[in-house]
């Protein structure tokens, strides 16, 4: 994880770097640091948020126009000042910022220790910068060649920005497995470097995305020079990125998460209408044509994803199997490629990812591609690694999601997967055009239905207030509501630190029922589907054991309302569209519990928005 920023040009570097870090804090916020060059390096580092770093920077940075910066999500070593980046080599001549993990750092460190190197912290990055020094001195190389030679012996993932004070007009950057973008200008007088486009686009919209193992030298007034780590020159393409960043602010809301929850009517609408034809009557995935045949004839769809996106994948499994009758498997991306999965050419491997950068999902996609599968992704970030590498991308139009807890991206993912299932159903003749049109018409009403739920926000808040001391929750659901139970549990635990477990309701009697007692509330997602009566029975079983019950029910509910202690009402829609409405009160409930507990809702402890390490 972590975010890196770099600048070389004719402006003062430090405000650009700090501002860039703030925009990358979603990638980690354990500590932050910058290094600027003024003959020697000026390095500032602080544990905690970028704001701490900003406050520590003094007058000495004035007029210095080249530097690198980092916001950290700790992997090796605690989030202390010592372990914060940038890291400096023993001879004080090289500094580096790094996003990723150096897997063979221990081996390299032992070798360096034998040669008399010393270390002040525990990070793999400190080992790397010293190894560059070691290689440079041993082989009498400039920084560019020393870095390339070093990388030939490195296992792991990295995006790196490196400065050497012996070559004060040069910055060298590279990546493998971790994302990195370079902003270029027409005169080549300035270059911007960042882990994603967001910190760059306000300065220049011309971006070059690096591929794995490419090394770039940035020098004022000179065109980019890109080679691989063996020195072979590489071509590159400058892309024009049009990112609307106006909306990346909290507006009138106290937290990004709340704003993003309330944005859902708009984000669902944007997503839906982006995949409908101009008359808004039929589904139309732009540019899908080339892949359509493969999708229609697919033996199987394997969905790979993580976290909330994995839950969207399970919703997708239910809908695609129901409507298109294609077998679907949903896999944790992190498990998938390590278990020697059977992948054949007729398989479609579909990644679902908000960021398009999650390391495990990206690796699962690459693995599948190498085995001959057709790859497809549902993703929210334009130009992300997944979008660039997949055979086809269906975007969610949720806009930037800043809150670490994913909300609007989830409903947008479910919207896309629903449209895809309907279209595949029509193409495969497993549903009629009439049914498809009826579903499309109903989907168009979802933004309005979601909006209605917001009128119950104060009610949800008043219920949430009762649970600040609760230490554990059970979430139950059946059928297509099962992934919503999982998602409700994940939302609660990640932002309120209350233990929560999602379970298929019928499985409760095979174990979790032993935990039921007065102090363990159960949230049941009990909208009126074919399992409704069974869910009411499950609720009775919990009540009989004195377990408190909160239930998500439809407005016209008849039975659950009498069993539950508290209810969250949602409009009734078709079963397969119910997840999009049922999840909303659970998002709000988690949010309010976390706020009452005084937790940092947008930046929960230990987490980062985009998990770019394995
Ligand atoms: O960017 P992605 O959708 O690939 O991210 C996947 C997970 O890391 C993400 O959903 C995570 O679980 C969120 N914190 C959940 O709210």
User: Which one, of 414, 421, 412, 413, lies nearest residue 439 by Cα?
Assistant: 421
Q: Is the distance from CB of 80 to CB of 47 less than 8 angstroms?
A: yes
Q: What whole-number distance in Å separates Cα of residue 569 and Cα of residue 551? A: 8
Tokens of 413: 């993912």
Say which residue the tokens 């590279």 belong to: 174
How close is the Cα of 467 to the center of ligand 1, in Å? 25
User: Which one, of 163, 185, 174, 145, lies nearest residue 38 by Cα?
Assistant: 163
pLDDT tens for each residue of 428-442: 999 999 999 999 999
User: DSSP secondary structure string, 154-223?
Assistant: --EEEEEEEEETTSTTEEEEEEEBS--EEEE-TTSS-EEEESSSTTTTTT-SEEEEPPTTEEEEEETTS-
Best residue among 179, 260, 309, 591 to mutate for probing ligand 1's pocket (most ligand atoms within 8 Å of CB) is 309
Q: Is the distance from CB of 328 to CB of 352 less than 8 angstroms?
A: no
- 401-403-404-407 Cα dihedral, nearest 10 degrees: -70
- The set of residues, in sequence order, having a beta carbon less than 8 Å from that of 329 and lying 6+ positions away, is 300, 301, 302, 303, 317
Best residue among 412, 611, 612, 613 to mutate for probing ligand 1's pocket (most ligand atoms within 8 Å of CB) is 611
Q: Give the model's pLDDT for residue 246.
A: 54
The DSSP H or E segment spanning 44 is strand 40-47
How close is the Cα of 354 to the center of ligand 1, in Å? 7
Say which residue the tokens 């397969």 belong to: 576
Q: Give the model's pLDDT for residue 542.
A: 95
Q: Is the distance from CB of 127 to CB of 112 less than 8 angstroms?
A: yes
Phi, psi angle pair for 298, to nearest 5°: -55, 135
User: Which one, of 525, 281, 554, 265, lies nearest residue 415 by Cα?
Assistant: 265
Cα separation of the two ends of the chain: 9
Tokens of 189: 């007088």
User: Which one, of 609, 442, 612, 600, lies nearest residue 51 by Cα?
Assistant: 600
Low-confidence ranges of the chain (pLDDT < 50): none
Q: Give the model's pLDDT for residue 25.
A: 85
CATH 3.40.50.10490-classified regions of the chain:
258-444, 453-602
In the residue annotation, 543 being an active-site residue is answered as: no
Q: What whole-number distance in Å separates Cα of residue 313 and Cα of residue 483? A: 9
DSSP state of 210: P
Q: What whole-number distance in Å separates Cα of residue 324 and Cα of residue 431? A: 7
Say which residue the tokens 């992704």 belong to: 377
User: DSSP secondary structure string, 27-43?
Assistant: G--SEEEEEEEESEEEE
Which residue has a Cα nearest atom 11 of ligand 1?
Answer: 307
Q: Give the model's pLDDT for residue 244.
A: 61
pLDDT tens for each residue of 44-98: 999 988 999 999 999 999 999 999 999 988 777 788 888 899 999 999 999 999 9
Tell me the helices (H) and strands (E) count for the chain, helix number first. 20, 24
CATH 3.60.20.10-classified regions of the chain:
3-243
How close is the Cα of 413 to the center of ligand 1, in Å? 12
374, β-bridge pairs: 348
Best residue among 307, 360, 611 to mutate for probing ligand 1's pocket (most ligand atoms within 8 Å of CB) is 307
Q: Give the model's pLDDT for residue 178.
A: 84
What separation in angstroms does the CA of 98 have from each of 27, 31, 321? 13, 13, 43
User: Which one, of 39, 27, 344, lies nearest residue 164 by Cα?
Assistant: 39
Which residue has a Cα nearest atom 9 of ligand 1?
Answer: 307
Q: What whole-number distance in Å separates Cα of residue 165 and Cα of residue 497? A: 45
**Which class is 258-444 in CATH?**
alpha beta
How close is the Cα of 308 to the center of ligand 1, in Å? 5
In the residue annotation, 609 being an active-site residue is answered as: yes
How close is the Cα of 593 to the center of ligand 1, in Å? 20
DSSP state of 434: H
**Cα 16 to the center of its chain, rounded Å:** 24
Phi, psi angle pair for 443, to nearest 5°: -55, -35
- Is it true that domain 3-243 has CATH number 3.40.50.720? no
CATH of the structural domain 453-602, one choice from 3.60.15.10, 3.40.50.10490, 3.20.20.80, 3.20.20.150: 3.40.50.10490
Q: Is the peptide bond before 86 cis (omega within 30 degrees of 0)?
A: yes
């Amino acid at each position: 994880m972590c975010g890196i920023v770099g600048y070389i040009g004719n402006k003062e570097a430090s405000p650009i770097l700090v501002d860039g870090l703030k925009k990358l804090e979603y990638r980690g916020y354990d500590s932050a640091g910058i290094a600027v060059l003024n003959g020697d390096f000026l390095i500032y580092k602080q544990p905690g948020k970028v704001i701490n770093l900003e406050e520590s920077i003094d007058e000495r940075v004035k007029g210095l126009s080249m530097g690198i910066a980092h916001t950290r999500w700790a992997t090796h070593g605690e989030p202390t000042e010592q372990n914060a980046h940038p890291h400096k080599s023993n001879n004080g001549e090289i500094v580096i910022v790094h996003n990723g993990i150096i897997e063979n750092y221990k081996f390299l460190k032992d070798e360096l220790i034998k040669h008399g190197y010393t270390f002040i912290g525990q990070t793999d990055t400190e080992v790397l910068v010293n190894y560059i020094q070691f290689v440079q001195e041993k082989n009498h190389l400039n920084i560019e060649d020393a870095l390339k030679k070093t990388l030939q012996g490195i296992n792991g993932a990295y995006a790196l920005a490196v400065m050497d004070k012996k070559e004060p007009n040069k910055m060298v950057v590279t990546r493998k497995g971790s994302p990195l973008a370079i902003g270029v200008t027409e005169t080549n007088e300035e270059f911007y470097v960042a882990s994603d486009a967001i910190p760059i686009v306000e300065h220049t919209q011309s971006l070059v995305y690096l591929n794995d193992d490419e090394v770039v030298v940035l020098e004022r007034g000179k065109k980019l020079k890109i080679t691989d780590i063996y020195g072979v020159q590489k071509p590159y393409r400058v892309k024009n990125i049009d990112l609307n960043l106006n909306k990346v602010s909290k507006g009138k809301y106290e937290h990004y998460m709340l704003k993003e929850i309330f944005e859902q009517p708009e984000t669902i609408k944007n997503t839906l209408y982006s995949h409908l034809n101009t008359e808004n009557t039929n589904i139309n995935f732009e540019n899908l044509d080339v892949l359509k045949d493969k999708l229609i004839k697919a033996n199987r769809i394997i969905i790979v994803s993580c976290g909330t996106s994995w839950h969207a994948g399970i919703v997708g499994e239910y809908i695609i199997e129901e409507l298109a009758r294609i077998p679907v498997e949903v896999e944790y991306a992190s498990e998938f490629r390590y278990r020697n999965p059977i992948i054949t050419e007729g398989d479609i491997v579909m990644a679902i990812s908000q960021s398009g950068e999650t390391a495990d999902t990206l690796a699962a996609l690459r693995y599948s591609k190498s085995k001959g599968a057709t790859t497809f992704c549902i993703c929210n970030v334009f130009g992300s690694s997944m979008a660039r590498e997949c055979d086809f991308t269906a975007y969610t139009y949720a806009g930037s999601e800043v809150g670490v807890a994913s909300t609007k991206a989830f409903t947008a993912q479910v919207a896309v997967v629903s449209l895809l299932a309907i279209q595949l159903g029509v193409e495969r003749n497993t549903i009629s055009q009439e049914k498809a049109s009826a579903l499309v018409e109903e989907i168009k009403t979802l933004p309005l239905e979601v909006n209605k739920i917001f009128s119950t926000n104060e009610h949800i808040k008043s219920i949430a207030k009762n649970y600040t001391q609760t230490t554990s929750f059970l979430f139950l659901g059946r059928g297509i509501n099962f992934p919503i139970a999982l998602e409700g549990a994940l939302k609660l635990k990640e932002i309120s630190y209350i233990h929560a477990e999602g379970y298929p309701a019928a499985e409760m009697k095979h174990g979790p029922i032993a935990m039921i007692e007065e102090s363990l509330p159960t949230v049941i997602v009990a909208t009126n589907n074919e399992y409704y009566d069974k869910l009411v029975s499950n609720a009775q079983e919990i009540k009989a054991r004195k377990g408190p019950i909160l239930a998500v029910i439809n407005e016209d509910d008849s039975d659950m309302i009498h069993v539950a202690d508290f209810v969250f009402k949602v409009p009734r829609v078709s079963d397969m569209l119910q997840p999009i409405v049922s999840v909303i009160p659970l998002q709000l409930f988690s949010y309010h519990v976390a706020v009452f507990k005084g937790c940092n809702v947008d930046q929960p402890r230990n987490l980062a928005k985009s998990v770019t390490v394995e």
